[in-house]
Amino acid sequence: MAEPTRTAKLTIDDKVIELPIQSGSIGPDVLDIRKLYGQADVFTFDPGFTSTAACESAITYIDGDKGELLHRGYPIDQLAEKSHYLEVCYLLLYGELPTAVQLSDFVGRVTRHTMLHEQIHNFFRGFRRDAHPMATMVGVVGALSAFYHDSTDINDAWHREVSAIRMIAKLPTIAAMAYKYSIGQPFVYPKNSLSYAGNFLHMCFAVPAEDYVVNPILEKAMDRIMMLHADHEQNASTSTVRLAGSSGANPFACIAAGIACLWGPAHGGANQACLEMLREIGTVDRIPEFIARAKDKNDPFRLMGFGHRVYKNFDPRAKVMKESADEVLGLLGIENNPTLQVAKELERIALSDPYFVEKKLYPNVDFYSGIILDAMGFPTSMFTPIFALSRTVGWISQWKEMIDDPTQKIGRPRQLYTGPQRRDYPDMRHR
């Protein structure tokens, strides 16, 4: 961070406090309030962090008004068109696009770590058969620190590197095993001759009794879904990973915390909730009923897949996802999929409805991803696990950046206390 050249003045009663204004490479400047409490004995109040930059980061940039998403400066639509998931993983982790040699070395390293310690299989079997795959993933990823002791020392750069590669490599295996377990099929071991996306499809859909050939259309679509979910700045789950990591917790525990946060329907769980909503709507003629419910202040219902804290324009990931949905469904010959018809009409109506227009509620990444995953044969319960395995690289990159940041401290927000003031403990008979 460069030395600040401007300051802001804050007047509290008759005291004037000068706050440095810091500038990034792009995006809004930030008021540096780190010394505010010491100088003025006040905290700032910002539930939900709507106006708070919690860290310095050089990984991902979002311009919510323009609807722009950059990874290390590269626009997501260019990456989606020209790159592939593992190359984007390299970019996020190391800051630059790889040369051919660097890429092949990285792909080789990830590929050699796709298997899980065999004893982890026993761990899966302890879950109830009907467990949600996200529940299984939170548990199994957290448990990795009990298996890979040689990569849990956060102060050792090599440990950090190995744990990063291990998690990028093993998350698809864990997600696929969670799925196989939930449907009562045998686990399928990774096949390292396949691509990252192809291997994931293989582990989900192959069975020992038959040969499974990865469909290249679905492989490409899977890779693109992974790429579009790879990182997204300081969202709730990434901030959770950073907060967990700020205490010095090991990387496997931090990623398990991120997965737990992602599960919520306001965040990664929205893809499952969205497809279930589209199915519940069922036919185009029922859309007005659901739009009315979304607008009703007394109804907690929200249109899933719409709205975003940062985007006040089209989510650029949703644009690419929509193209992919058209492509995949067209190539699979199911373009008349009723869910897609409902989604398209819902989008059209919502984008012209004053409520959604005024509040700048546009479709987000979760609006179309479920339609593609459904067409591929995934049950809705697997949508969020796929988001989680794709986001792992973003979480890890942000966690590594935080550990390397010399200004990093344990995350410890304060509060505006509104509870009772000091009072004496009464005996039971006086309550």
Residues at the interface with ligand CMC (CB under 6 A):
48, 235, 266-268, 270, 294, 302-309, 359, 361, 364-366
- For the four alpha carbons of 352, 357, 361 and 365, in that order, the dihedral sign comes to positive
Number of other CB atoms surrounding residue 423 within 10 Å: 6
User: Residues 159, 232, 308, 315: which is the catalytic one?
Assistant: 308
Is the CB of 69 or the CB of 120 nearer to ligand CMC? Answer: 69
> Which tokens in the block code for residue 277?
């909503």
Number of other CB atoms surrounding residue 162 within 10 Å: 18
Is the CB of 203 or the CB of 373 nearer to ligand CMC? Answer: 373
Minimum CB separation from ligand CMC for residue 272, in Å?
11
Minimum CB separation from ligand CMC for residue 306, in Å?
4
Amino acid at 7: T
Minimum CB separation from ligand CMC for residue 48, in Å?
6
From CA 332, how far away is CA 326, in angstroms rounded? 10
For 15, phi then psi, to 5°, come to -100, 130
User: Is 308 a residue of the active site?
Assistant: yes
What residue number has its CB nearest to ligand CMC? Answer: 307
Is the CB of 278 or the CB of 365 nearer to ligand CMC? Answer: 365
- List strands edge to edge, sheet with 6-12: 6-12, 15-22, 30-31
Q: Please tell me whether residue 19 adopts helix, strand or coil conformation.
A: strand
Of the candidates 58, 94, 54, 60, the one whose C-alpha atom is nearest the C-alpha of residue 75 is 60
Is the CB of 163 or the CB of 272 nearer to ligand CMC? Answer: 272
* Beta carbons of 317 and 228 less than 8 angstroms apart: yes
Is the CB of 191 or the CB of 309 nearer to ligand CMC? Answer: 309
Minimum CB separation from ligand CMC for residue 135, in Å?
18
Is the CB of 30 or the CB of 236 nearer to ligand CMC? Answer: 236
* Beta carbons of 364 and 228 less than 8 angstroms apart: no
Is the CB of 62 or the CB of 249 nearer to ligand CMC? Answer: 62
Non-local CB neighbours of 156 within 8 Å, separated by 6+ positions = none
Query: From residue 49, how far is each of 54, 55, 398 by CA, in Å?
Result: 8, 12, 18
Minimum CB separation from ligand CMC for residue 314, in Å?
12
User: Is 13 a residue of the active site?
Assistant: no
Minimum CB separation from ligand CMC for residue 54, in Å?
16
Indicate the helix (H) or strand (E) that contains 151. none
Is the CB of 325 or the CB of 365 nearer to ligand CMC? Answer: 365
User: Residues 366, 374, 404, 405: which is the catalytic one?
Assistant: 366
* Beta carbons of 328 and 279 less than 8 angstroms apart: no
Amino acid at 364: N
> Which tokens in the block code for residue 118?
């065999």
Minimum CB separation from ligand CMC for residue 115, in Å?
29
Minimum CB separation from ligand CMC for residue 232, in Å?
7
- List strands edge to edge, sheet with 74-75: 60-63, 68-71, 74-75
Number of residues written out for the chain: 431
Helices (H) and strands (E) in the chain, counts: 18, 6
Query: From residue 181, how far is each of 124, 135, 169, 239 by CA, in Å?
Result: 8, 12, 19, 30
State the catalytic residues. 308, 366
